[in-house]
Structure 1
Amino acid sequence: MTTLNSTFGSRFGLQYAPMSFLLRMGKREMLVCRDFRKRYYAVNPVIELDTGVEAGHLEILLLRRWLLILSKAH
């Protein structure tokens, strides 16, 4: 079994995220998963951009359902 080391730590809580996968493109990583977090603010129905939990991360929420997390690969 091959393990892929990711820059996304346990602070994201992604070990509980259903149906997630990680894409690595050169020096960038993109994690795609279903958004499972409770949002306590009004979310744009099409696309929502936010800074990530860790420095250098960008979170993109698409259609209130899909979460894309962009970061630099280490």
Structure 2
Amino acid sequence: MSDFFAMGGYGFYVWGSYGAALLIVGGLAGLSWCSLRASASRLEALRQAAPHRRRKAPHRRHKESGHGAQ
């Protein structure tokens, strides 16, 4: 088992690379999550500041497409 972790003498480089990649990906995920929360709170503040600018959802017509159960 220790031979597996030693990776033929390159274990420090291999596992260090995996650790660095994990830290970078984790950091990017954390930054993305913080950015998402900040954008959501900014959007909510804008919506509350200008409620008269909201649009109603457009009315959609449902057409029979001829697909599906007949």
Q: Scaled by the length of structure 2, what TM-score is found?
A: 0.17
Which of the pair has the greater relative contact order for Cα pairs under 8 Å at 6+ separation?
1
